[in-house]
Amino acid sequence: MINIVANGQKIEAREGETILTALRRAGIKVPTLCHMEDLTPTGACRLCVVELEGAQNLVPACSYPVAEGMKIKSHSARVLAARKTIIELLLASHPDDCLYCARNNKCELQSLAAELGVRHRRFYGTYTKKPLDISGLSLQRDPEKCILCGRCVRVCEEVQTVSAIDFIKRGSKTFIGTAFDQGLNVSSCINCGQCAVVCPTGAIVERSYVDQVMAALADRSKYVVVQHAPSISVTLAEEFGYKPGLDVDGKMVSALRWMGFQRVFDTSFSADLTIMEEASELVHRVQNGGVLPMMTSCSPGWIKFVETFFPEFIPNLSTCKSPQQMLGALIKSFFAEKQGIAPEDIVSVSIMPCTAKKFESGRSEFQQNFLPDVDYVLTTRELGQMCRMFGIEFDKLAPEAPDTPFGERSSAGKIFGATGGVMEAALRTAHLLITGKEMDELKIAALRGLKGRKETTIDIEGLNVGIAVVNGLGNARRLLEEIKAGRNDLHFIEVMACPGGCIGGGGQPLGLDKEAVQRRMKALYKIDTEETLRQSHNNKWVKRLYEEYLVKPLSERSHHLLHTHYSQRELLR
């Protein structure tokens, strides 16, 4: 350990770490617009500059290493003047349409301008004249609001290894765009939305469908239903200032009914259904020489990643639709028939942690008679916006239960929201299908946690099943390359496109950090520990659905409604 002094406070720092890391650990707030945790510092924005005793120039805290006896001033008059000038220069060529911006009140540039007392314009620059890119179903870009911090480029290239966007041209003409400066819809973008999470301004945001949902709720000729994903209940409260990990499931259901949704369903129910189909598919492949390793298909960003970069692995993907699309298909078939409602009169809305779900709902594979199974997808952030629009106060809401027949779930379906949850839930049911007996210990510790890749072997009465759990597409790419090179000891692989899984999705509340993701994960596993219904195959409403409608897993009707296929996508070159 090294001893340093910051603002008169003695701090112990680790040898080799940066000033920024040491100061933040000590609770000293240092602003930055370019820094990304766990990635190599770039020192691009210079907002994190600090003053060192004896040094002539200010130094960037994000890339300057600590040294024994170092004396630091993080908020001296000289430092504050430098930071204020940087913000003023950024604002010189930045649009002033804050009232209409999706990131209004959630913009880091806006917050820093207020914090540093920027109250008038000292510099005047030339605005970047670039059109909006609204070509994608999930994300939209406004290049005029880009401050060239590079965060989006780095998360896309270094974390996700997709490289859909990059810096184009040089000097004052530099901007961020796609290959050949085309729309996102024809790029290699997999719609994960991690770029929108890290963007400090409104340059990249999710494509909003709030207006369309509000119009549907006001249309008395439409029957509007909503489903909410497993992770939403442990993240929504953050939109209202609560600490990460607070489970507001019942209050959220109450809020959705208050808004006017006629039925509120739980996507964790169809997660249980997914397990029934997916575990059955895995057992069928293992026992009948099918294509292995089988790979999960719940994450639409991961699916598009395989279609685009690794089409040779398409046969390895499970044919199961995601829980969102399974429930969407059932709402406009089974539910519509039972209620005597024409499918075209149903507006099916889903609340998801994932911007890629917006793209998924628009895929032609997920339509019946030219009607989409899911009409509109809202993110956690958009649900928070709607709650504020309706004046909903969570403190005053009484918890309510979701509606049948798609309201009851097992905790296996609930842990889908965390990386490793799908695998753990599937193995609980696969064990029963293979042996006819329940697992003695439902918790599989080797599959839990935020590590990028987790591997283990499960012994199911003499059958050794090699499994891997991966989150973040950079980790997925490395595993696929190993399999291409000849690795053959794996039978089942779970992949989530976003780091941490759905709890770290591109549609979750902003200000994401590891501690927040860990709290969300802990909340989901706490639910699993405390509940008695912990296996998907013991969900009585899932059993009833098979008895009344689907017959059995992998039946002809199940294949028609709950399974799909995928195709290779061509890269724009």
Catalytic entry in 195, 298, 320, 498: 298
- From the list 278, 307, 382, 408, the catalytic residue is 278
From residue 455, give the alpha-carbon distance in Å to each of 283, 450, 464, 480, 483: 19, 13, 13, 14, 14
Phi, psi of 423 (to 5 degrees): -60, -45
Residue 461 annotated in active site: no
Sequence-distant (≥ 6) Cβ neighbours of residue 15 within 8 angstroms? 1, 2, 66
* Given the residues 360, 382, 408, 494, the one annotated as active site: 360
278 is catalytic: yes
Residue 360 is among the residues annotated as catalytic for this protein: yes
The CA distance from 139 to 155, in Å, is 15
What is the C-alpha separation between 192 and 532, in angstroms, rounded?
34
Told to judge if 357 belongs to the known catalytic residues of this protein, a careful annotator would answer yes
Q: What ranges make up the beta strands (E) of 353-487?
A: 367-368, 371-372, 376-379, 453-460, 463-471
Catalytic entry in 268, 318, 361, 411: 318
Residue 277 bears catalytic tag = no
Rounded-to-10 torsion of CA 277, 278, 280, 286: 160
Q: Which helix (H) or strand (E) holds 424?
A: helix 421-435
- Is residue 51 annotated as part of the catalytic site, yes or no? no
Strand residue runs (E) in 234-332:
263-266, 294-295
Hey, is 303 helix, strand or coil? helix
Burial annotation 280-305 (CB, 10 A radius, 16+ → b, else e):
bbbbebbeeeeebbbbbbbbbbbbbb
Closest residue by Cα to residue 496 from 261, 240, 241, 298: 298
Instruction: Look up residue 101 and give its two tokens.
Output: 């911006």
In this structure, the strands spanning 263-266 and 223-228 are: parallel
CB 474 within 8 A of CB 391: no
Q: Is 199 a catalytic residue?
A: no
Question: β-pairing, 346-352 with 376-379?
Answer: parallel
Catalytic position from the list 15, 68, 337, 365: 365
Element (H, E) at 274: helix 267-288
Strand 204-206 to 376-379 pairing: unpaired
3-class DSSP assignment, residue 126: coil
- C-alpha span between 441 and 431 (Å, rounded): 11
Q: Which residue has the tokens 């020192």?
A: 43
Beta bridge mates, 4: 11
Give residue 110's identity as a one-letter amino acid code.
Q
Q: Is residue 318 flagged as an active site residue? A: yes
Of 51, 239, 281, 382, catalytic: 281
Q: Which of 292, 288, 350 is nearest to 321 (CA)?
A: 350
Q: Rounded to a whole number, what is the largest CA-CA distance in the chain?
A: 80
> How far apart, in whole angstroms, are the C-alpha atoms of residue 208 and residue 378?
7
Catalytic residue list: 278, 281, 298, 318, 357, 360, 365, 502
